[in-house]
Amino acid sequence: MLTLYSYWRSTTSYRVRVALNLKGLPYRTVPVDLVAGAQRAPDYVAQNPIKGVPTLLLEDGRALTQSLAIMAYLDDIAPDPALLPEDAFQRAQVLAAAQVIATDIHPINNLKVVSRLKTQHGLTADEGTEWMRHWIAEGLQAYQALLPTGPAFSFADVPLLCDLCLVPQLYNAHRWGVDMTPFARLLDIEQQALRLPAFDAARPENQPDAN
Ligand SMILES: N[C@@H](CCC(=O)N[C@@H](CS)C(=O)NCC(=O)O)C(=O)O
Q: Where are the domains of the chain?
A: 2-81, 88-199
The rounded Å distance from CA 148 to ligand 1 centre is: 30
Among residues 17, 4, 6, which one has the least CA distance to residue 167? 17
The two beta strands, 27-31 and 55-57, are: unpaired
Q: Tell whether ligand 1 has an atom less than 6 A from the beta carbon of residue 6.
A: no
Q: Which ligand 1 atom is the nearest neighbour of the CA of 115?
A: 16
Distance (Å, whole) CA 195 – CA 211: 23
Q: Euclidean distance between the first and final Cα of the chain, in Å? A: 26
Domains 2-81 and 88-199 share a fold: no
Sheet strands (E) in 10-158: 27-31, 55-57, 63-65
Q: CA Rg, the chain, in Å?
A: 17
Domain 88-199 belongs to what architecture? Up-down Bundle (1.20)
> Which amino acid residue places its CA nearest to atom 5 of ligand 1?
52
Exposure class string for 161-189: b at 16+ Cβ within 10 A, else e: bbbbbbbbbbbbbeeeebeeeebeebeeb
Nearest CA to ligand 1 atom 11: 52
pLDDT tens per residue across all 211 residues of the chain: 999 999 999 999 999 999 999 999 999 999 999 999 999 999 999 999 999 999 999 999 999 999 999 999 999 999 999 999 999 999 999 999 999 999 999 999 999 999 999 999 999 999 999 999 999 999 999 999 999 999 999 999 999 999 999 999 999 999 999 999 999 999 999 999 999 999 999 999 999 999 9
pTM of the predicted protein model: 0.98
- Counting every residue written for the chain, the total comes to 211
- Find all residues with CB under 8 Å of 33, minimum gap 6, and list them: 7, 209
Asked if residue 110 has its Cβ within 6 Å of ligand 1, the reply is yes
Domain 2-81 superfamily per CATH:
Glutaredoxin (3.40.30.10)
